[in-house]
Chains A and B, each alone.
Chain A
């Protein structure tokens, strides 16, 4: 199963865009990229997912490179409430895929006033 590499921590100024990178160089053609975040002492929250095309929703945008070996989660206007740990996860397509997710340590994003 493909694993991901994320920087352990990042800082961002409030109101600016936060760009969180993720490397998944061993991803296979039918594996999705999922992003979750976890605010301190709470359960993780789903943000967005994608396969090949860039995706956008009310929370964030996901940019996946053409070779699919890396992706970037973009929070367009970060607020203090976006301070959290962000997890990038590659999801295998075979049966039981939720239970095969590999949760790494993610990126701890600090949004500063």
Chain B
């Protein structure tokens, strides 16, 4: 089955530690995105990538980093510089690049809790 996978579903880390969230898609989509969701707020864009080896900051990129070395993979690293890392993180992809009207497909999300 085609889709987007995120792992793990739940992640616990100590304050001050970097942590990497995995996102893999087998939909052959060009564009991939990372969002953060907090209670009482809509999804906010962290980073996006239109094509392999290219990515751009979204609205709340501070304290995060990404890479796009392969078309199917877009891992997100939450660094110790992120002041409030505890959140629900969602990865998404869409076909035809960022310039199309194609809808986004979302992964199941990773709930990160920093203790």
Interface residues of A (CB under 8 A from B): 32, 34, 36, 41-46, 49, 87, 91, 95-99, 102-106
Residue from the list A46, A97, A105 in contact with B99, Cβ < 8 A: A97
Separation of A32 and B42 alpha carbons in the complex (Å): 19
| With A96-B99, A98-B104 as contacts: A43 and B31 at CB distance below 8 Å | no
Residue of B nearest to A93 (CB): B101
Q: Which of B11-19, B65-73, B77-85, B105-113 contacts A (4 or more CB under 8 A)?
A: B105-113
In the complex the two chains form, what is the Cα distance from A104 to B42 in whole Å?
5
- Give the residue name and chain of the B residue nearest to A49 (CB): B103
Q: A97-B98, A98-B33 are known contacts. Are A44 and B90 too (CB-CB below 8 A)?
A: yes
Interface of B is mostly: strand
Which listed residue (A41, A45, A95, A105) contacts B106, Cβ 8 A? Answer: A45
List of A residues within 8 angstroms of B90 by Cβ: 43-44
| Structural contact, A32 and B101, CB atoms closer than 8 A | yes
Find out whether the CB atom of B98 lies under 8 angstroms from the CB atom of A46: no
The residues of B that contact A105 with a CB separation of less than 8 Å are 40-42
From A91, A96, A102, contact of B101 by CB (8 A): A91
Beyond A42-B109, A43-B106, A98-B94, 20 additional pairs, beta carbon < 8 A: A36-B103, A36-B104, A41-B109, A43-B4, A43-B90, A43-B92, A44-B90, A45-B106, A46-B104, A49-B103, A91-B101, A95-B99, A97-B101, A98-B31, A98-B98, A99-B58, A99-B98, A102-B42, A103-B42, A106-B42
